[in-house]
Amino acid sequence: MGKLGLFGLTVMALLLLTPVAYAKASEPEPPTNSRWRFGVEASGTMPISDTTKMTSAGFGLSMFAEHEIKEFGLSIEYVALGKKTWEDVEGELPRVFTTSFDNVNAQIYMFRRFQSGLYGIAGVGCGYGNISNNSGFDSHSFAVMWTSGIGYSFNNNFGVILKGTGTWGKAHNFDKELLRGDALYYLSLGVQYRF
């Protein structure tokens, strides 16, 4: 995608959408009697920690449902981290891999009320991941996943969120040959819209 890349385009889109969200925040909010709210989220993702050695920036898409009174929610998210070429020097002979990572992550989480203002979230769930490399090898497996972060709601509909997601320590089941038992971690910066 050129020098800018997918992550750069995503950040630019987020910056362009922020004034729109502020404009919407000044509009009066219609009353709602529903205790459940539903929403969608689009985000740019960036690997952190040891994950940076095998993947690059990508994107995420999420759908979620939140209960206003009891302050908990459910979400399902798809994250695609981009390809990266790296060298494995831990074996007898160095090997060069080009890997990418896809993950579907379902979680239950707690949050502060989202009518407007700053809030925090913390969640745990299960992820189903796929790691692929240049040799045509794919690894599909499950892992326990966690998420924590902070968000800001401009009004009852629009908001932004920054969150970190990862596998639960080294207790995951993603491919051991490629990851060498390391956990997977990534950051997401997203825009949310609640219906």
Tens-digit pLDDT string for the chain (195 aa): 444 455 565 665 666 566 555 555 555 554 455 688 899 999 999 998 877 877 899 999 999 998 877 788 999 999 998 888 877 666 665 677 777 888 888 999 888 665 678 888 999 998 887 777 666 656 667 778 899 999 998 888 899 999 999 887 554 555 555 555 567 889 999 999 988
Token readout for 44 is: 């740019």
Token readout for 109 is: 């989480």
What domains appear along the chain, each with residue ranges and CATH number? 5-25+36-194 (2.40.160.20)
The structure's pTM equals 0.74
Token readout for 153 is: 């709601």
How many angstroms separate the CA atoms of 64 and 73, rounded? 7
How many angstroms separate the CA atoms of 118 and 161, rounded? 10
How many angstroms separate the CA atoms of 163 and 161, rounded? 6
Query: CA separation (Å) from 10 to 6, 7, 85, 191?
Result: 6, 5, 22, 10
Instruction: Say what the pLDDT of residue 122 is.
Output: 92
What are the φ and ψ backbone dihedral angles of 69, each rounded to 5 degrees? -80, -50
